[in-house]
């Protein structure tokens, strides 16, 4: 079992942890289980992720702190080092460079820094990394569209270029008019590679 006293201390310390730009991170339990947490980081200023709030799922293994926490993005993000399908993260300190002195808050701050400094030569998502290398400007427009749709709320999330999300705006509208949630529709259409019937099946199965 992980060190519960350390985890409780880390939760308290995370409340005062800040990034280099002064933005705070958030860390809270899922229910009462100390081995399952949610984290939240802000998209760094001057990047396509600026203005977004990104939620991360955090699982604490039994061997923590000698093994790293298992962290993945819950909020969809377009980034070479993050799987656009699963949210898995390719980051050294979450793998072979982890040491027990780091902690969860430091891991979250490192993930935030990764948003600012992608490593396309060590990708988690090869397609996104290739896009980054091939056309940096178009990559940034796509990443900004994903941020606007998935990581922002209110009016900021309404005017979205669906082509940059990899889906047909008309298909999105048709499925939303059927009563499905817009974000779920986009995810289902991407998973189904634009096939509306398959997307509907996915959406219906998720409601069962």
Which of 90, 111, 160, 171 is catalytic? The answer is: 90
- Between CA 162 and CA 149 the distance in angstroms is 9
Q: Which residue ranges does the chain devote to CATH 3.10.110.10? A: 4-116
State pLDDT tens for residues 148-198.
999 987 555 556 778 888 888 899 889 999 999 888 888 889 888 899 999
Establish whether 94 is a catalytic residue.
Answer: no
Q: Which residue ranges does the chain devote to CATH 1.10.8? A: 167-208
Q: Work out the average pLDDT over 38-48.
A: 95
Strand-pair category, 53-59 with 70-73: antiparallel
Q: Is the pLDDT of residue 52 over 80?
A: yes
- Picking from 124, 198, 160, the residue whose alpha carbon sits closest to that of residue 52 is 160
Beta bridge partners of 27: 39
DSSP H/E element including 13: helix 4-14
Give the position of tokens 């959406």: 203
**Domain 4-116 class in CATH:** alpha beta
Q: Is the pLDDT of residue 85 over 90?
A: no
Taken as a whole, the chain contains a residue count of 208
Q: What is the pTM of this model?
A: 0.82
Q: Is the pLDDT of residue 115 over 60?
A: yes
Q: Residue 82, class by beta-carbon neighbours within 10 Å (0-12 exposed, 13-18 middle, 19+ buried)? A: buried
Out of 22-31, 49-58, 74-83, 88-97, which region has the weakest mean confidence (pLDDT)?
22-31
167-208: what fold? Helicase, Ruva Protein; domain 3 (1.10.8)
Give me 109's structure tokens: 């701050």
Phi first, then psi, for residue 142 (nearest 5°) are -65, -45
Answer with the residue of higher pLDDT: 22 or 187: 187
Strand-pair category, 53-59 with 33-42: antiparallel
Q: Beginning with the edge strand found earlier in the chain, give each strand of the sheet holding 53-59 in spatial order.
A: 26-30, 33-42, 53-59, 70-73
Distance between first and last Cα of the chain: 34
């Amino acid at each position: 079992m992980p060190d519960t006293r350390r985890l409780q201390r880390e939760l308290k310390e995370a409340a005062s942890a800040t990034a280099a730009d002064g933005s705070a991170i958030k860390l809270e339990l899922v229910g009462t289980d100390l081995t399952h947490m949610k984290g939240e980081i802000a998209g760094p200023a001057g990047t396509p992720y600026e203005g977004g709030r990104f939620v991360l799922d955090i699982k604490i293994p039994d061997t923590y702190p000698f093994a790293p926490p298992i962290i993945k993005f819950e909020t969809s993000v377009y980034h070479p080092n993050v799987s656009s399908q699963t949210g898995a993260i390719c980051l050294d300190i979450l793998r072979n460079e982890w040491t027990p002195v780091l902690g969860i808050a430091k891991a979250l701050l490192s993930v935030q820094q990764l948003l600012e400094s992608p490593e396309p030569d060590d990708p988690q998502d090869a397609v996104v990394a290739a896009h980054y290398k091939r056309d940096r400007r178009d990559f940034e427009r796509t990443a900004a569209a994903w941020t606007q749709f998935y990581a922002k709320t209110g009016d900021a999330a309404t005017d979205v270029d669906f082509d940059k999300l990899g889906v047909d705006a008309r298909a999105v509208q048709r499925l939303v008019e059927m009563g499905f949630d817009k974000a779920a529709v986009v995810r289902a259409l991407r998973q189904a590679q634009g096939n509306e019937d398959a997307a509907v099946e996915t959406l219906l199965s998720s409601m069962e």
